[in-house]
Structure 1
Amino acid sequence: MTLSPSLQRTAADALAELQREHGRALFGFLLGLTGGDAQRAEDLVQETLVRAWQHPEALETDHASMRPWLFTVARRLAIDARRARLSRPREVDPQGLEHAPAPVDGVAGAVTAIDVRRALGGLGPEHREVLMQVYFRDRSVAEAARELGIPAGTVKSRTHYALRALRKDLQGYGLGG
C-alpha cells in the first residue's frame, strides 16, 4: 500500500501519538506476558505498532481509545511468539555451556585403548600376567601369587616394573615419566 506524502505524515504522526499515549502501558503489559523479558517485550511493542501502521483503518475508528485494539494485537503477537519459540529447539545460554559436561569422544577412547594394548603387548609375558591378575581380574597380591605360583614379593616387584614401563610408554597421557 502506498500512501501520499501527506497521508504518510499523518500516519506517522498518529503512530507517534499511539507510542506516546499507550507505549508504556503496552510495554508493561507485554513485560508480564513475556515473563519479565524486557527485550522481547520491546520487540513486541514495536511489532504491535507496526501492525497499527499496516492497518490505518484501525487508527480511524470512532472508539474513545485504541488501547483495547493494541492490547489485543499485542497479546496475540506474544502468544504467537511463545508458540514459535516452543516449537523450535531451546536456545542455549552461553554461560550454561561453561558448566556443561564435555562431550564423550569415542575416537579418543578407542585410540587410548589401542595405545594401552600396544603398551601391554610390549611387556614381557611375566609382567603382563601379573598386571592381568592384579588390575584386570582385581586379585590381591596374595591371590595373584597363588594363581601364578610365585612369591608375593615377586608379584609386587613385577607389578612395579610393569607399571614403570607402561608409564614410560604412555607418557603422552600425563602418567608421569
Structure 2
Amino acid sequence: MSRRDRSAGEVLVRRLYAEHGAALLAYATRLSGDRAAAQELVRRTLLRAWTEPSALSEERGAVRARLFVLLREAAGAPADVLQMLGAVGTLPPEEREVLNQLYFQGRDVKETAASLGLPAETVKSRSYQALRRLRAALAAEVTTGAA
C-alpha cells in the first residue's frame, strides 16, 4: 500500500468516525453489553470500511447503513438469522417500522419522525420498547433452545 493510499485511508476513517462514531459506539454497546468490546467492534468496523471504501456511497444514510451492517458482521450474529427474523416478526407493526427506518434505512430519529409523521419522542419510545422486546425474545429463545 502506498503512502498516499494509507493517508487517504486515515482521512476516510477519521471522517467516518467523526460522522458516525457515536452512533456506531452506542449500537455496538447495545449489541455487546460491554463498552470496551464495543470500542473494539467500532475499530474493526472502521478498519473494514477502510479496506472496502467502494462499498460506501456518498449518501449519509447509505454510509451509516453500510457501517451498521459491517458492525453487525464484526460482532457476529447475536442469534441465528431466522431467530432474529422470528423475533422481529413478533413486534407490533409500528415498532417494526421504527426499527426498519432507524437501523436498516439508516435514518436518525428526526428523519424517522418526519417520515412516519410522529413526534421524535414517540420514535425514541417505540425504538426502546422494540429493542427490549427483541432482547427478551432472543433471550427466551436461547434459554429454550439450550434446555
TM-score range, shorter chain: 0.3 to 0.5
Q: Is the radius of gyration larger for structure 1 or structure 2?
A: 1
- Higher relative CO (Cα under 8 Å, sequence separation at least 6) belongs to 2
